[in-house]
A = this chain, B = another copy of it.
Amino acid sequence: MHFRYCSIYSIFNPLVFTKINLKTRIIDMKKYIILFFSFINFTSFSQSNDESMVKHIFDNALQNGRSYQMLQHLTTNVGPRLSGSPGAAAAVEWSRHVMQDFGFDSVWLQPVLVPHWVRGQREIGQIVNSKKIGTVPMNVCALGGSVGTGPDGIVSKIVEVKTFEELTQLGVKNIQGKIVFFNRPMDPTKINTFAAYSGAVDQRGSGASEAAKYGAVAAIVRSMSTNVEDYPHTGGMQYAPNIAKIPAIAISTKHADVLSKLVKEDKDLQFYIETHCETLEDAPSFNVVGEIKGSEYKDEIIVVGGHLDSWDLAQGAHDDGAGCVQSIEVLRLFKMMGYKPKRTIRAVMFMNEENGLRGGTKYAELAEKNKEKHIVAIESDRGGFTPRGFTMTASDAVRQKIKSWKPLLEPYGLTDFDQEGGGADIGPLNKQGVPVLEFLPDSQRYFKYHHTPEDTIDKVDKRELELGSASMAALVYLIDRYGLQ
């Protein structure tokens, strides 16, 4: 190993002494429990010095971090894990075992019924008999939640629009019986690419129903991507009530440009779509929760979480394997460092963020039912990139308290605490009044990989991922130590 710096905390970390092996860790830990108790005063000493504790968290994450190794396993051995799929079930088992093996105080599953959408055997999108290029297959994929076309497919002319207002202007007479092609790109001038995403994703989410209002037979949506490239990006879509459900597909940005050009040159251009996707019965699944019990205020719960599901086409390295392993790593770091939190810390792997939010909803429902007191929830669901800060939705008092710690966090690249936000999965907790935050990494590369087969472990930088874990752990440490009142 090439670790030069060896902090005093390392003595509590069996990983320094042993080969990395999930299955043998608990045995290894026992060896060091005696050592831990002989250094019991040390924890209270270190806690008196936040700057030093934050540094030790980062040092440990960067020297002895496990985030990357966990993510490697989740993405390559488990792989895609859409709600209801065998992959999702494997991810549940994997995360339960990992947290058990790390020796968290308790690990449990929260049953939740999830939507079960399946893509089917094949999907086809092609330009038909173009005067210029003939019949050419395009890079497309069904949008998650879409109905299929059935084996006969749909063939029709294309109407290209950039906004829903254009649909109104065109009206039934121009749209009836046609395929609507939504081609408004993500705005490349937005520095925050999530803002660009927000400005375009209505086309994917509700384009099909908007088009169906005017009699369209299918919808093609330009992929939500900051790049012009080959892969179509899948993602969730919903049907409005009482509107005909028409099939919806995404087309790669490169082929969206090709299609747009051809449509302008050839008004009679036709397009063929064949998809076999369908929504099955809701399926049983689970949130996975790991917990370290607080020593002083055990009823006060701090949640760190990510979502365990990924799109069926994606290994979900950045979305959101990163957030899952970072959340687990927060608890693992504390445990390995011998830090005993005053409050209860939970790592929550939410199920079904991508197409239903059932896991997040269930978690909040159970929290209310069980009268649990959550003092804060922090999600990581913007990828495993280099840290920039935290977004938050919280009272002014909470916001000010968190911002008062900025001097401690700035040396690690965490400078942005001003944006409103919080993760999707913890939204339902926020509705109950719980302050929520989201880890804010740099956003430039996220939408290149988002919801595509490109979202793989080789797109994740080990140090960047580890810095994210440490950022979350440092914030949790400060909240645990000082509360948010």
By a beta-carbon cutoff of 8 Å, the part of chain A in contact with chain B is: 1-5, 55, 58-59, 62-63, 162, 184-189, 191, 193, 222, 226-228, 253, 256-257, 386, 388, 411-413, 415-416, 442, 444-445, 448, 461-464, 467
Distance in angstroms between the alpha carbons of A386 and B388 in the assembled complex: 11
Among A58, A162, A222, A463, residue most surrounded by chain B Cβ atoms (within 10 Å): A463
Extra 8 A-B pairs, beta carbons < 8 Å, given A1-B228, A444-B461: A2-B253, A3-B188, A4-B184, A58-B189, A59-B189, A386-B444, A442-B442, A445-B463
Contact indicator A2/B413 (Cβ below 8 Å) = no
Evaluate whether A189 and B444 lie within 8 angstroms (CB atoms) in the complex, with A2-B256, A184-B4, A256-B2 already known: no
Residues of B close to A191: CB separation below 8 A: 58, 411-413, 467
Residues of B close to A193: CB separation below 8 A: 463
Residues of B close to A1: CB separation below 8 A: 228, 257
Contact indicator A185/B464 (Cβ below 8 Å) = no
Contact indicator B58/A2 (Cβ below 8 Å) = no
Q: Whose C-beta in chain B lies nearest to the C-beta of A188?
A: B62
Distance in angstroms between the alpha carbons of A185 and B1 in the assembled complex: 9
Contact indicator B4/A462 (Cβ below 8 Å) = no
Contact indicator A413/B388 (Cβ below 8 Å) = yes
Contact indicator B445/A63 (Cβ below 8 Å) = no
Residues of B close to A62: CB separation below 8 A: 188-189
Distance in angstroms between the alpha carbons of A222 and B55 in the assembled complex: 26
Q: Can you give 29 contacting A-B residue pairs, CB < 8 Å? A: A1-B228, A1-B257, A2-B222, A2-B253, A2-B256, A2-B257, A3-B185, A4-B162, A4-B184, A4-B185, A4-B187, A5-B187, A5-B188, A59-B189, A62-B188, A63-B188, A188-B463, A191-B413, A191-B467, A386-B442, A386-B444, A388-B413, A413-B442, A415-B416, A442-B442, A444-B463, A444-B464, A445-B461, A445-B464
- Shortest A482–chain B CB gap in Å is 24
Residues of B close to A253: CB separation below 8 A: 2
Residues of B close to A462: CB separation below 8 A: 227
Contact indicator A228/B2 (Cβ below 8 Å) = yes
- Shortest A187–chain B CB gap in Å is 5
Residues of B close to A257: CB separation below 8 A: 1-2
Distance in angstroms between the alpha carbons of A373 and B184 in the assembled complex: 49
Contact indicator A63/B189 (Cβ below 8 Å) = yes
Distance in angstroms between the alpha carbons of A191 and B58 in the assembled complex: 9
Distance in angstroms between the alpha carbons of A416 and B442 in the assembled complex: 15
- Shortest A438–chain B CB gap in Å is 18
Distance in angstroms between the alpha carbons of A226 and B58 in the assembled complex: 15
- Shortest A214–chain B CB gap in Å is 23
Distance in angstroms between the alpha carbons of A222 and B3 in the assembled complex: 13
Q: Whose C-beta in chain B lies nearest to the C-beta of A226?
A: B463
Q: Whose C-beta in chain B lies nearest to the C-beta of A193?
A: B463
Residues of B close to A463: CB separation below 8 A: 188, 193, 226, 444-445
Contact indicator B185/A2 (Cβ below 8 Å) = yes
Residues of B close to A59: CB separation below 8 A: 189
Distance in angstroms between the alpha carbons of A222 and B1 in the assembled complex: 12
Contact indicator B442/A189 (Cβ below 8 Å) = no
Among A58, A188, A256, residue most surrounded by chain B Cβ atoms (within 10 Å): A188
Distance in angstroms between the alpha carbons of A301 and B226 in the assembled complex: 36
Residues of B close to A413: CB separation below 8 A: 191, 388, 442
Distance in angstroms between the alpha carbons of A460 and B185 in the assembled complex: 22
**CB-based closest 5 A-B pairs:** A2-B185, A59-B189, A62-B188, A444-B463, A415-B415
Residues of B close to A3: CB separation below 8 A: 185, 188
Distance in angstroms between the alpha carbons of A462 and B193 in the assembled complex: 13
- Shortest A3–chain B CB gap in Å is 6
- Shortest A307–chain B CB gap in Å is 24
- Shortest A387–chain B CB gap in Å is 9
- Shortest A377–chain B CB gap in Å is 27
Residues of B close to A184: CB separation below 8 A: 4
Distance in angstroms between the alpha carbons of A433 and B193 in the assembled complex: 41
- Shortest A222–chain B CB gap in Å is 8
Residues of B close to A222: CB separation below 8 A: 2
Residues of B close to A412: CB separation below 8 A: 191
Evaluate whether A2 and B188 lie within 8 angstroms (CB atoms) in the complex, with A415-B415, A444-B386 already known: yes
- Shortest A472–chain B CB gap in Å is 16
- Shortest A167–chain B CB gap in Å is 18
Residues of B close to A58: CB separation below 8 A: 189, 191
